[in-house]
Chains A and B, each alone.
Chain A
Amino acid sequence: MWRGNAWPATLLIAGMVGYGLFISLSMTTWGDYKQLSADPVFLESVGISLYVAVSSTVLAVLIGAGLAGFFAKQTGWAAQILAVPLFLPHLGAAYLAILYLSDFPVIGPHEVNQFSIILTYLYKEIPFVFFYLLPVYRRLDHRYEELGLMLGLSRIKRFWHGKGVFLLFPVLEAAFIVFAFTLFAYEVPALLGVTYPKLIGVYTFDLYTQGDLSRQPEAFAISVLLTGILFLLLLLFTRMIRPLTERISKGRIE
């Protein structure tokens, strides 16, 4: 694992996010948040965005982790094919969806079920999850599971103590990254989404740029809300789940 100095990068990113959050907060008043909470167009947009982000995340993590588990035991170059989508930006993937999915009835672009958006995200995020988890799978020590077998543990307990505790946090990390990205992204839903309801990234951008710009504060309020919620999730992860898995896995061989 990389053990370089992460501080400069951390400071830079934290500084940018912190400054952005500060500016956004300073642009909004309490009234903007109240207005948002009563705006049916916004609420519907949140609903549809959660649907897209949750389904993309769950599917990408399940499939990506499954593939990583399978390929961890293999040697050879077959897994490298999965790297191909990583070289294509999301925008490119969305255009691929327009090119190849347009003639299909249910999964084509601009359908209310948003399947084309979810498929595009899967195409991009499964490889991401896969390469994120592959080294974790490769470092798993199968002797824990054998020990469990010897001690007569049930299947579920064997899995949890042999693999689960080591996998849980990396899987959640990957899921968090995918979720945060798919929730607020712009390009893919802008190209493949429907006119109504719009995904939250597109809706926010419209509020920010349209007309006499009088609705800009609402756009800032949305970004403050989303950033806040993601921070809370992050805090939950690091405060509650990480100590748990670290305590259980303490003493493992590095």
Chain B
Amino acid sequence: MIKQMTAIAATGLLLAGCASPAAPVQEKVLGSSYTSIVKDANATTVRMYMWGGDEGINAYIDEYVAPKLKKEHKITLKRVPIETADLIQKLRAEKKAGKETGVIDVVWINGDNFRNAKKDGLLYGEITKVLPNMKYVDPQAQGSDSGTPTDHLEAAWGKVQYTFHYDQASVKNPPQDLQELKSWVKENPGKFTYPEVTDFTGNAFVRHVMYGLESKETLKDPKADFKKTWAYLNELKPYLWKEGKTYPKTLAQLDQLYAKGSVAFTMGFNERRAEQEVKSGTFPKETRPLILKDGSIASTHFLSIPFNAPNPNGALVTINTLLSPDAQFKKFDGTYWGDGTSLDLTTVSQKEQQAFEEVPAAESTPKPAAFEGKVRAELDPAIFDMIRKDWPERVAR
């Protein structure tokens, strides 16, 4: 028996010994010129870990970005779908275990996940200082991530607005503000719901209710009692899908309900996200956008590199490529994703600027004027936490 156990232990040690080769030193990578970074990144593999719940986004990476990187830098891009919160957990565990060479090269991140990663030192360093394409990026989008200063740790990849979408075939007179929405929900029981607040989009729905009902002082104070918000949500509750006894766990589930016609509304960050879904026949043909008078939160999402990325050179080249005007354009037009650009369009060439302006907007996309005077800044991340803590007790229960 001892012999067998020794053998097992020996195999274990052997496996542990087979770690990947060490990653290049961080100071050296961030201290070198972009030209030498490109040279070192040539013909390497880059693993990009990102939320994988949207077919259009996945197709953009797999069908457009990966071939582009292959052609320009011989880089093999591998996309790994993962929930962003799980990714932070993984990095935290690796940091704790002292694992200096991980497996993740590029992460897609924002909001409280960025705040957590920054607080725990899970990010690589001041990466934006070495990326040449940062010169195109809108400094306002780049400056802060839901109230947390980005400090060059991440690069703004896209900028979107929270937008409701509804099926015109079943909603003749769409509500224009929260009060009208409430009346509509009461008149059409079972046809509206929102994802539960552990979901990014569901949490944001509650923040929109806050923007509509709470005073400016309350909105600044995560410790305040958001009485009006909870009261509003409780008033909606009995008239929601499944009488509010349960909520979709994710935005993907809400989208499925909307696609099936079980509910008449869906919602989400990105004003253009319905274009692709309508074109592919997933969403109803008569899907239309709706921006409530109470405001629409603007959100920026970012790219970053983990502290223990095995291939930081490849990661930097990948991020720089994703910030290039042509990659941003392909992300913006309706082919795959339809995501708002993070670039300041006055900095790109005349021709590129024109291309952006000429992208036709589908009927499911709001006109720029629809946002006039309605754009709201993201609230303090502490409010996200407060909603997660209080909503189950004060609303769902």
Q: Which residues of A contact B (CB under 8 A)?
A: 5, 7-8, 11-12, 40-41, 44, 110-112, 190, 193-197, 206, 208-215
The CA of A210 and the CA of B381, in the complex, are separated in Å by: 12
Tell me whether B5 and A209 are in contact (CB under 8 A). no
- Given A112-B245, A196-B396, A196-B397 in contact, is the A211-B4 Cβ separation under 8 Å? no
With a CB–CB cut-off of 8 A, which chain B residues contact A206? 198
The CA of A111 and the CA of B385, in the complex, are separated in Å by: 27
With a CB–CB cut-off of 8 A, which chain A residues contact B385? 210-212, 214
Q: Which residue in B5, B83, B381, B389 is a CB contact (below 8 Å) of A7?
A: B5
Tell me whether B4 and A5 are in contact (CB under 8 A). yes
| Residue of A with least CB distance to B386 | A211
Chain A binding surface SS class: loop
Tell me whether B245 and A7 are in contact (CB under 8 A). no
Tell me whether B393 and A40 are in contact (CB under 8 A). yes
| Residue of A with least CB distance to B243 | A112
With a CB–CB cut-off of 8 A, which chain B residues contact A209? 83, 85-86, 89
The CA of A111 and the CA of B83, in the complex, are separated in Å by: 26
B8 at the interface (CB under 8 A from A): yes
B45 at the interface (CB under 8 A from A): no
The CA of A100 and the CA of B385, in the complex, are separated in Å by: 36
16 inter-chain pairs at a CB distance below 8 angstroms, sorted by A residue, are A8-B1, A11-B5, A44-B397, A110-B245, A110-B246, A194-B246, A195-B392, A196-B246, A196-B392, A208-B89, A209-B83, A209-B85, A210-B385, A211-B388, A212-B385, A215-B389
Within 8 A of A (CB), among B339-397: 381-382, 384-385, 388-389, 392-393, 396-397
- Given A41-B393, A212-B112 in contact, is the A190-B85 Cβ separation under 8 Å? no
User: From residue A47, how far is it (CB to closest CB) to chain B in Å?
Assistant: 13
Tell me whether A8 and B116 are in contact (CB under 8 A). no
| Residue of A with least CB distance to B92 | A213
Encode contact with A along B177-202: 1 for CB under 8 Å, 0 otherwise. 00000000000000000001010000
B99 at the interface (CB under 8 A from A): no
B108 at the interface (CB under 8 A from A): no
With a CB–CB cut-off of 8 A, which chain B residues contact A213? 92, 116
With a CB–CB cut-off of 8 A, which chain B residues contact A215? 389
The CA of A197 and the CA of B392, in the complex, are separated in Å by: 8
Within 8 A of A (CB), among B54-105: 83, 85-86, 89, 92
With a CB–CB cut-off of 8 A, which chain A residues contact B245? 110-112, 194-195
Tell me whether B397 and A8 are in contact (CB under 8 A). no
The CA of A208 and the CA of B90, in the complex, are separated in Å by: 12
User: From residue A98, how far is it (CB to closest CB) to chain B in Å?
Assistant: 10
